[in-house]
Amino acid sequence: MKTINVTCAIIQFDDKILAVQRSETMKLPLKWEFPGGKIETGESEIDCIKREIFEELNIKIEVKEKLTSVTHQYPNFKIKLIPFIVEYLSGELKLREHCGFLLAYKNELINLDWAEADVPILKEFIEL
Ligand X SMILES: Nc1nc2c([nH]c(=O)n2[C@@H]2O[C@H](COP(=O)(O)OP(=O)(O)OP(=O)(O)O)[C@@H](O)[C@H]2O)c(=O)[nH]1
Give residues in contact with ligand X (CB under 6 A): 6, 8, 26-28, 33-38, 79, 81, 115, 117-118
CA 98, CA 23: separation in Å to the nearest integer?
Answer: 5
CA 124, CA 107: separation in Å to the nearest integer?
Answer: 12
Between 27 and 60, CB nearer to ligand X: 27
- We find the least distance from the C-beta atom of residue 96 to ligand X, in angstroms, to be 12
- We find the least distance from the C-beta atom of residue 56 to ligand X, in angstroms, to be 8
Between 25 and 107, CB nearer to ligand X: 25
Pairing relation of β-strands 78-90 and 16-21? unpaired
Instruction: Give the CB-nearest residue to ligand X.
Output: 37
Pairing relation of β-strands 3-13 and 36-38? antiparallel
Between 38 and 60, CB nearer to ligand X: 38
- We find the least distance from the C-beta atom of residue 15 to ligand X, in angstroms, to be 21
With b meaning 16 or more CB within 10 Å and e meaning fewer, what string describes 12-42? beeebbbbbbbeeeeeeeebbbbbbbebeee
- We find the least distance from the C-beta atom of residue 36 to ligand X, in angstroms, to be 4
